[in-house]
Structure 1
Amino acid sequence: MIIIFLFAGAILFACSMIFMHRGINKMIWVTLGLILSIGSVVLIALNYNIYLGMKEVNQTQTYPLTSSVKGKHAILYQQIGTKDERIYYYATNPLQQKLAKTDPTTGTTKIKRNSKLNQVKITRKTRVYKNEEMRLLFSNGVPNKQFVSQDYEFHLMSGWTLEKVSHQKQ
């Protein structure tokens, strides 16, 4: 809808500048077209830069955590880069064939020890429009339910370890 306002303002400005005779009516229509065009461009820029009309929504899910290694109480990790960036491999079901993994590029991962239960808490942050008017105004720019980040928090009981895996295992 904001694009329609931008085009309408540009057409109004251009047509009033070209086809109208000098006078107060011309100045009013030119000013109105200019305000509509510039205002639309400013709103589009604000929507792309500070997500005008959107709010962040957190969705948290907690899953029971089972060992990544059969016969041990361990969570596997793979070191990437030279910093504390790691990929953690975890299972939420003992019958799970393929291990799930964290993504260090989309969020943070925290390990909390001496918990009462083994569990992983996954918090997914998305941006949604504040109301229907904002969605209608900006729906052709930034999509609704835009992904922001996904944070992982592992709660491990005492006795559980972190084991490093080779680069080839995934």
Structure 2
Amino acid sequence: MSLQRQVQAKMFGKRDQEQEAEALAWICAVLGETFPENMAYEDILRDGQVLCRVMNKLSPGSIKKINTGGGQFKMMENITNFNTAIGKYGVPIVDKFQTADLYEKKDINQVTGTIFALGRTTYKHSEWPGPWLGPKPAEENVRVFSEETIAAGKAHIGLQAGSNKGANQSGEIGSRRMIIQGK
């Protein structure tokens, strides 16, 4: 087997079929349509049209033109437009996939991760009524302490600071090793 086939087999092995099914179900719910069951997940997404339509549902008008025909560069342009739009929508750059990951089917797992990141980002947009995908992101929980509380915290010496009253790491106090000399 060639090296390229070995790499592809390893990449396919990392794919999570359940996550892909969940992402596709979310896409279907957002668009209100279904896709043929015999069509592969990556083939549904490959030309970027479905992803662009999803983005326009989440944020109307975010992608002005979706290419439906033309060569591979037009289809890759759809994917690029999708990635640009999700960045503006709030998906962090570290969660985005590269165009080749999808179009050339190099890393479909990364594509699924990006779809989940987009689904999580929808929680932050109150204008979106749902459905959502993935867990709700944590919200900031700012805590304000009084000066007395801060001063009390500075006066306390934790065990990490070295004040363990003679105990060793196991918590035993005063235990010593016995060294027995041979005769």
More strand by share: 1
Length-normalised TM-score, structure 1: 0.27
- Structure 1 or 2: more helix by fraction: 2
Considering Cα pairs closer than 8 Å and 6+ residues apart, tell me whether 1 or 2 has the greater RCO.
1
Instruction: Give TM-score scaled by structure 2 length.
Output: 0.25
